[in-house]
Structure 1
Amino acid sequence: MAQAVDVVCQMTVDVTDTTPHVDYEGTRYYFCCAGCAKSFQENPAQYVNQK
């Protein structure tokens, strides 16, 4: 199973059809919960620039 790191809380999540995600500037970001996805949507640059 594929995994991704939630850029909001840094948790490793399993990627499934129901994993919360947001597409931003051509990249799909996965999240542990809808709350983290919402935080990302409100200010994506804050999290993307942490890389």
Structure 2
Amino acid sequence: MVERVPLITNPNPENINYLKTKKEKLAHLLEGIEEEEVSNLTKAHSKTAQEGS
């Protein structure tokens, strides 16, 4: 391996937990997957799901 390059992606409510797991357990270099953002996206997803019910 020559270098590690972070993946630049925009997390969304559908993939935030998946990306967070990749960062924590597999040491992937993912920018923008901080606990506050995870919390905000999860809350937004829950609210949207409730409104659709």
Q: TM-score, normalised by structure 2?
A: 0.30
Considering fraction of residues, name the structure with more helix: 2
Greater radius of gyration (CA): 2
Highest RCO, 1 vs 2 (Cα 8 Å, sep ≥ 6): 2
Considering fraction of residues, name the structure with more strand: 1
Q: TM-score, normalised by structure 1?
A: 0.31
